Structure 1
Amino acid sequence: MDKATGTATPIINRGNWETLLFPLPPINEQERIVAKITELTHFLGIYSNKQEELNKLNSNMYQRLKKAILQEAIQGKLVPQIAEEGTAQELLEQIKTEKQKLVKEGKLKKSALSDSVIFRGDDNKYWEKKSATCECINEDIPFDIPKSWAWVRLETILSIGSARRVHAKDWRQTGIPFYRAREIGKLADDGFVDNELYIDLSLYEDFSSSGVPLPNDLMITAVGTLGKVYIVKESDKFYYKDGSVLCLANKYGLCAEYLKMVIESPSFKGQYRQESEGTTVATLTMVRLQKYFIPLPPLQEQYRIVETYRNIASIMS
C-alpha cells in the first residue's frame, strides 16, 4: 500500500511488485503454518457461529424478560399497593362524574354513560353488569388483580375515535404532518419520522372541528403491524389516516404511559391477535377495540408502576 499510486484506484506496477520484501520460511515450516491456519480457521468458524447464537439468545432473553416484567407490572406485582392512594373504583367514580359534566356541556354523547361495571362476586367469579343484565365473564378475564384495582372495558376510560377521510390528492410536501400506520409505528419505535406527508393548514383546521389528537392521547396502529402505540406530545400538531390509525382520547387524565404499557402487554395483544387469526390483513376496529379488557390501578399507582418499569428497563439495557 505504501508503494501504490492513484487515489480512486490504487495501482502497483511490476517493478514495485518485484522489490517487495517477502518473509520466507523453510518448506516444511510453510506446510506446518498452512496446516495450523486451516485448523484455527475451522475453530474460528465454530466460534463465530456460537457467538451469533449467543447474541441471538441474549437478544431473545432481553425481549422475553422485558415482556415478563411488563406482564408483572399490569398484574399489580411490580409495586406494592398503598391504601392512601385510594382505589380504582374511586377513580372510576371520578371519571363517571366527569362524563356527566361533558354530556351536559354537549361535548360527549349520552351513550358514553352506559358503561359496564365489572366486579368480583361472592362466588369469587368476575361478573359484568350492563343496564339491567348481569353476566358471568370469568372465562374472559385473563388474570386476577389486586383488590384496589378494577377490570374495565377500554371504552370506559378512553374515547376511541377515527379521522375524517384524507385523499391522496390532498397530500402535500409542506404543511401539517399527516401520519399513516407506518409513520405512527416509526414514531412509536424511534421517536421520529423521516418520510413525512403533509396536508394544508386549512384542511387541518376544517377537520379540527371533529377533533384532532391532543397531548397524552394515544395513537394506535390498526392495520398491518397492530398495536404500535405513540403518545401525543405537547409539541405535536398532526392529522392521521382514517382506518389505519385510531386515536384513544385520554379525556380523564389517566397516566398515558401506563395505558401504553397495558396495550403493548402480551395479554392485551392476545385479545386482538386471537380475533385476527385467519384474516388476510390484520386489522383493529373501533368496535372491537373498545370492548377489550384493561386492568386499572389507582392513578398514583399507575405513575409508580411506570417509574419502576423505566428504572428496570434502563438497567437491562
Structure 2
Amino acid sequence: MWHNLKKSILQEAIQGKLVPQIAEEGIAQDLLEQIRQEKQKLVKEGKLKKSALTDSVIYKGDDNKYYEQIDKENKEITEDILFDLPNKWQWCRIGTIFMHNNGKQLNKGNSKGKLMKYITTSNLYWDGFVLDNLKEMPFENNEIDRCMAVKGDLLVCEGGDIGRSCIWNYDFPIMLQNHIHKLRPYIPLCTKFFYYIFNLYNLAGLIGGKGIGIQGFSSKALHNTLVPLPPQKEQYRIVTQIEKLFEQLR
C-alpha cells in the first residue's frame, strides 16, 4: 500500500498536478536559456567541450505531436513522451541540464596516484549512504575532479537497482567507483526534484538498458533520459509538498 501511495504522489508531482503554477515564477524556457549561456561561458573558459553546446530542443507542434530538434535535424518523438506537461514546464534530456560522468573503474593492476576512499553502488541507497568500512583505490591528479562527488551532487546507480539515487549531502567529498553516475546541474536547480523523478521512474520500471548479462543504466542512456523541467521555485514547492505528504503516510 505504501508503495502504491508513494508512486501516486510522485506521479501527481512530476506531472505538475501537486502544487499550483504561479505566473510570477517564470517558465522553464528561462532556465534552459540560462543553462545555454552557462555552457557557452564554460566552453570559452576551456572547462567544457564545444560539443556540449549541441543541445536538443523539444517542443509540441501545431499537430499536437512532440518533436526534437538537434542542430538542423528535426524528428518526431511523441511515442517517447510519457505525459503532457503544464504550459510553463518543458521536456528535456538529462544531459541538457546536468553535467554527468561515472567514477573510476577498479583496476588492481593500477597503483598510480593517491589512495582515496570511494563508494560503490552497495553504499548508495534511496534514503542515504552506508559508509562503514570504505575501501581505497588510487586516483591520479587528472581523475580526482571527475571522480569526486561534493555536497549537493546527485548520485545514480548504473546497475543493480537501476536508477537508485541519493544526494551527497555531507560536508566532505567522496570518490566514486565507475558504476555510479555523478550529476551536477549547470545552474542552481532543486536537485531533490530530480531525485524524485528517478524514484518514480524506478518504481514505474521506466529505467533500464541491456548490459552484459545484466540490466544497466549507461552514461548514454542517462544522458538521453527525458525529464520534465518546471520553473526553479516550483521545483522547491513540489519537493516540500511531496515530503509533507510522505510524512503524513508514515
How far does residue 204 in structure 1 lie from its aligned partner after superposition? 6.6
TM-aligned CA distance change 1:80 to 1:164, over 3 Å: same
Aligned AA (2:81): I
Do the aligned partners of 1:127 and 1:137 also contact (CA within 8 Å) in 2? Answer: yes
TM-aligned CA distance change 1:189 to 1:299, over 3 Å: same
After superposition, where does 1:1-317 map in structure 2 within 5 Å?
Answer: 61-168=1-108, 176-185=116-125, 188-199=126-137, 203=139, 207-210=143-146, 212-242=148-178, 244-266=179-201, 270-273=205-208, 275-276=209-210, 280-317=213-250
How far does residue 268 in structure 1 lie from its aligned partner after superposition? 8.4
Question: For residues 196 and 99 of structure 1, what CA distance do their matches in structure 2 show?
Answer: 35
Aligned AA (1:131): D
* Secondary structure class of the residue paired with 2:127: helix
Do the aligned partners of 1:220 and 1:246 also contact (CA within 8 Å) in 2? Answer: yes
* Secondary structure class of the residue paired with 1:156: helix
Cα deviation 1:171-224 (Å, max 9, x = unaligned): 9xxx74311111123xx3344333422346xx3755325452122211111122
Structure with the higher strand share, 1 or 2: 2
Do the aligned partners of 1:176 and 1:204 also contact (CA within 8 Å) in 2? Answer: no
Aligned AA (2:163): G
Cα deviation 1:122-180 (Å, max 9, x = unaligned): 11111111111211111110101100000001100011212233434779xxx743111
What is the root-mean-square deviation of aligned Cα atoms in Å?
2.2
Higher relative contact order (CA 8 A, sep 6+): 2
Identify which range, 78-87 or 126-135, moves more after superposition: 126-135
Identify which range, 249-258 or 159-168, moves more after superposition: 159-168
Q: Which runs of 5+ in 2 are unaligned?
A: none
Cα deviation 1:49-81 (Å, max 9, x = unaligned): xxxxxxxxxxxx111100110111000000000
TM-score by length of 1: 0.72
* Secondary structure class of the residue paired with 1:283: coil
TM-aligned CA distance change 1:247 to 1:268, over 3 Å: farther
Q: Which runs of 5+ in 1 are unaligned?
A: 1-60
How far does residue 109 in structure 1 lie from its aligned partner after superposition? 0.7
The structure whose Rg is larger is: 1
TM-aligned CA distance change 1:269 to 1:63, over 3 Å: closer
TM-score by length of 2: 0.90
How far does residue 266 in structure 1 lie from its aligned partner after superposition? 3.4
How far does residue 245 in structure 1 lie from its aligned partner after superposition? 1.2
Percent identity over the alignment? 37
How far does residue 226 in structure 1 lie from its aligned partner after superposition? 1.1
* Secondary structure class of the residue paired with 2:148: coil
Question: For residues 55 and 96 of structure 2, what CA distance do their matches in structure 1 show?
Answer: 6
Structure with the higher helix share, 1 or 2: 1
TM-aligned CA distance change 1:220 to 1:71, over 3 Å: same
Do the aligned partners of 1:213 and 1:247 also contact (CA within 8 Å) in 2? Answer: yes
Aligned AA (1:196): L
Question: For residues 111 and 269 of structure 1, what CA distance do their matches in structure 2 show?
Answer: 32
Aligned to 1:32: none
Do the aligned partners of 1:71 and 1:266 also contact (CA within 8 Å) in 2? Answer: no
